[in-house]
A and B are shown apart, each in its own frame.
Chain A
Amino acid sequence: MIELAGINRNFEVGEETVHALRDINLNIDGGEYISIMGPSGSGKSTLLNMLGLLDQPNSGDYRFNGQAVNQLADEEQAKVRREHIGFVFQFFHLITRLSAADNVALPLTLAGIAPEIRHQKAEVAMQALGIADRASHRPDQLSGGQRQRVAIARAMISEPQLILADEPTGNLDRASGVDVIEALETLNQKGITLIIVTHDPELGQRARRRLKMDDGRIVGDHSP
């Protein structure tokens, strides 16, 4: 599903050039469950952003379903994100003035889907994550675990092929963290490709394929 070939990403920090990604080559099949681990600054978040088309490589080739997506215009990249990729962030990134249900339905709203269909899909997604009774609450009325489940419901509502989660449990206590991970794993069992960036070795061990990164390179790729 995903083919990365010779990806490089540099940042200019002052006079220095930081190599966040160096010559990344990676193939990912549909339905995989991958964890990316490594120390801070090893490039794992940058890799995730690259996969999610939120960042552009300085060089290299990124094919998504065979299509060279890093050469697409903004409009088309947005379309790929909208239709195929769901995001879960460490800081949830919910819009505080919208209700939980409106947050969940936001991708469909942006895509111009009719309200009835949006509401119906949002309800189904929230039911699956056990937060249907929180639909009309606003994010600041929810616990951290509930917020992240709202975010996961939002990520799955447009039925993506790929969910990218950046430290999804980083801001949660252990119990809610496990809940969130289990929710994501349930999605993976339904065939959605799941890629999680994490610091937590215990979480990382749960993935079937484990990537290890250091200094912008993939230094380990373990599948049991």
Chain B
Amino acid sequence: MMRLADVFRYSLQAMLGHRGRTLLILLAMAIGVAAVVVLTALGEGARLYVLKQFTTLGSHLVIVLPGRSETSGGPPPMLGETPRDLTLDDALALYQSHAIGKVAPVVIGSAPVSWQAREREVLVLGTTAEMEQVRQLKLARGKFINNNDPHRGTAVCVIGHTLRKELFGNQQALGQWLRIGERRFRVIGELAQQGHSLGTDIGDLVIIPVASAQALFNTESLFRILIQAKGRDSITPAMQAAEAIISKRHDGENDITVITQDSILATFDRILTALTFAVAAIAAISLAVAGILIMNVMLIAISQRTAEIGLLKALGAPDMEVMWLFIAEAGLLSLCGGLAGLALGMGSNFLLDQAFADFSIVAPAWASLGGLSIALLTGILFGYIPAKRAARLKPVEALTRRR
């Protein structure tokens, strides 16, 4: 039997002896593997980006929404049983629990905000000082609203980055009096630029004390309550406490919905991971196409090299050895193509990573290894059929053709 080193040397010489064919296969394989590496890197990058966005929302976050989406049986009650509103006192009562660290009530609405002749319709967020830490907001200038008594509405506001630019341009905003709806508020702080955060443009809003917002929109009810649990382990106790406390205050009626950021996070994580796998699978199809190309090119190679095959047999190579020679050649071709593709994909990832600073593009190890091994596997698998054909060639028929 032929030595392994000789098998590879022979295959390598065959590859170098047919450069055009070799380059064609290398290119097909390289594109396939590079596609896997780049696409999974993009999918993985998107996943990490979304997860990062979520964590900038604040950690250990529990959100209390009014109302409960569930179906209950029985005939309709005599009195209309609409869910009770969440009130500011409901929110403050949550401090009874040891699991709950900070509570930020939220009232939300839209109102025209004007300064001198400029007016802009923006989101108005009524909350308390705790919001700064719960949502991890960063200030560019000034300070956050800081009211000792949440029930008292003071006439101060913190404005977002975009709003400041639109209303004030290059002028000083701190200390100026804004008109929001029919009321006047003094600007005491400006938010730093943090971009979009899960659908809410925190650049284009104005934050005022919760009581001021309730007065502005003439409502007692809260849009939601944000809770920061004391730690990761306190998230579940905090949820249970929130349900218990509020249901007690609502005459035993469990009419709120409590969700955690982690559950949303987990869902997104699952969706995006599935997406990455799907994209990787699509890219793997291009590898299968490359495999079919290998098969075709190897079949052509064998019809061009029948004389060589006949010669090998005349010189005493059994069928199996001829088969192994051609399988080794296909395997070597796809391995080289795969390595070239890996280099190409990683190079592209590096460039993309440089181009998009806040979007990390690095292929996960499983994708690189998987791409390479699928390349090798398809090469050998699709190389098998031509190799089998080569092995079955009759030496006489192979030799009598002129070269």
**A interface with B by C-beta (< 8 Å):** 45, 49, 52, 54-55, 74-75, 78-79, 81-83, 87, 89, 91, 93, 95-98, 106-107, 109-112, 114, 154, 158
The reply to whether B307 and A93 contact each other, CB–CB distance below 8 Å, is yes
Determine how close the nearest CB of chain B comes to the CB of A129; give it in whole angstroms: 18
Determine how close the nearest CB of chain A comes to the CB of B390; give it in whole angstroms: 14
Q: How far is the CA of A72 from the CA of B259 in the complex (A)?
A: 78
Q: How far is the CA of A35 from the CA of B198 in the complex (A)?
A: 92
Chain A residues lying within 8 Å of B73, measured Cβ to Cβ, are none
Q: How far is the CA of A218 from the CA of B10 in the complex (A)?
A: 42
Chain A residues lying within 8 Å of B310, measured Cβ to Cβ, are 54, 93
Chain A residues lying within 8 Å of B1, measured Cβ to Cβ, are 112
Selected A-B contacts with CB under 8 Å, 5 pairs: A78-B313, A97-B13, A107-B315, A110-B321, A112-B1
Determine how close the nearest CB of chain A comes to the CB of B400; give it in whole angstroms: 8
B399 interface hit (Cβ, 8 Å): yes
Determine how close the nearest CB of chain B comes to the CB of A55; give it in whole angstroms: 5
**B interface with A by C-beta (< 8 Å):** 1-3, 6, 10, 13-14, 16-17, 307-308, 310-321, 394-396, 399-400, 402-403
Q: How far is the CA of A93 from the CA of B399 in the complex (A)?
A: 8
Determine how close the nearest CB of chain B comes to the CB of A91; give it in whole angstroms: 6
Q: How far is the CA of A89 from the CA of B3 in the complex (A)?
A: 27
Chain B residues lying within 8 Å of A75, measured Cβ to Cβ, are 318-320
Knowing A49-B396, A109-B6, A110-B312, say if A74 contacts B317 (CB, 8 Å): no
Task: List 16 additional contacts besides A55-B394, A95-B308; criterion CB under 8 Å.
Answer: A49-B396, A54-B394, A54-B396, A55-B396, A79-B316, A81-B314, A83-B316, A89-B399, A93-B399, A95-B311, A97-B14, A112-B2, A112-B3, A112-B6, A114-B3, A154-B315
Chain A residues lying within 8 Å of B318, measured Cβ to Cβ, are 74-75, 78-79
Knowing A110-B2, A112-B1, A112-B3, say if A97 contacts B16 (CB, 8 Å): yes
Determine how close the nearest CB of chain B comes to the CB of A113; give it in whole angstroms: 8
The reply to whether A106 and B395 contact each other, CB–CB distance below 8 Å, is no
Chain A residues lying within 8 Å of B399, measured Cβ to Cβ, are 54, 89, 93
The reply to whether A96 and B17 contact each other, CB–CB distance below 8 Å, is yes
Knowing A49-B396, A54-B395, A55-B396, say if A91 contacts B316 (CB, 8 Å): no
Knowing A91-B403, A93-B399, A97-B13, say if A52 contacts B3 (CB, 8 Å): no
Determine how close the nearest CB of chain B comes to the CB of A160; give it in whole angstroms: 10
Identify the interface centre among A45, A75, A81, A83: most chain B CB within 10 Å of its CB: A81
Q: How far is the CA of A96 from the CA of B312 in the complex (A)?
A: 14
Q: How far is the CA of A106 from the CA of B6 in the complex (A)?
A: 10
Q: How far is the CA of A55 from the CA of B10 in the complex (A)?
A: 26
The reply to whether A107 and B316 contact each other, CB–CB distance below 8 Å, is yes
Chain A residues lying within 8 Å of B3, measured Cβ to Cβ, are 109, 112, 114
Chain A residues lying within 8 Å of B14, measured Cβ to Cβ, are 97
Determine how close the nearest CB of chain B comes to the CB of A182; give it in whole angstroms: 24
In chain A, what residue has the closest Cβ to B307? Answer: A93
Q: How far is the CA of A81 from the CA of B13 in the complex (A)?
A: 25
Chain A residues lying within 8 Å of B314, measured Cβ to Cβ, are 52, 54, 81, 87, 93
Point out the residue from B311, B316, B403 that lies within 8 Å of A78, measured CB to CB: B316
Chain A residues lying within 8 Å of B312, measured Cβ to Cβ, are 106, 110
Chain A residues lying within 8 Å of B308, measured Cβ to Cβ, are 93, 95
Q: How far is the CA of A98 from the CA of B17 in the complex (A)?
A: 9
The reply to whether B395 and A93 contact each other, CB–CB distance below 8 Å, is no
The reply to whether A74 and B311 contact each other, CB–CB distance below 8 Å, is no
Knowing A91-B403, A95-B308, A95-B311, say if A111 contacts B396 (CB, 8 Å): no
Chain A residues lying within 8 Å of B321, measured Cβ to Cβ, are 78, 110
The reply to whether A98 and B13 contact each other, CB–CB distance below 8 Å, is yes
Q: How far is the CA of A89 from the CA of B311 in the complex (A)?
A: 10
Determine how close the nearest CB of chain A comes to the CB of B23; give it in whole angstroms: 16
Chain B residues lying within 8 Å of A111, measured Cβ to Cβ, are 2, 316
Point out the residue from B311, B317, B319, B396 that lies within 8 Å of A93, measured CB to CB: B311
Chain B residues lying within 8 Å of A106, measured Cβ to Cβ, are 312, 315
Determine how close the nearest CB of chain B comes to the CB of A90; give it in whole angstroms: 9
Chain B residues lying within 8 Å of A78, measured Cβ to Cβ, are 313, 316-319, 321
In chain B, what residue has the closest Cβ to A94? Answer: B311
Q: How far is the CA of A93 from the CA of B316 in the complex (A)?
A: 15
Determine how close the nearest CB of chain B comes to the CB of A107; give it in whole angstroms: 5
Q: How far is the CA of A110 from the CA of B320 in the complex (A)?
A: 12
Determine how close the nearest CB of chain B comes to the CB of A18; give it in whole angstroms: 14
CB-CB nearest 5 A-B residue pairs: A82-B316, A97-B17, A78-B318, A54-B395, A81-B316
Q: How far is the CA of A98 from the CA of B9 in the complex (A)?
A: 11
Q: How far is the CA of A89 from the CA of B313 in the complex (A)?
A: 14
In chain A, what residue has the closest Cβ to B9? Answer: A109
Q: How far is the CA of A202 from the CA of B261 in the complex (A)?
A: 99
The reply to whether A110 and B317 contact each other, CB–CB distance below 8 Å, is yes
Q: How far is the CA of A98 from the CA of B6 in the complex (A)?
A: 13
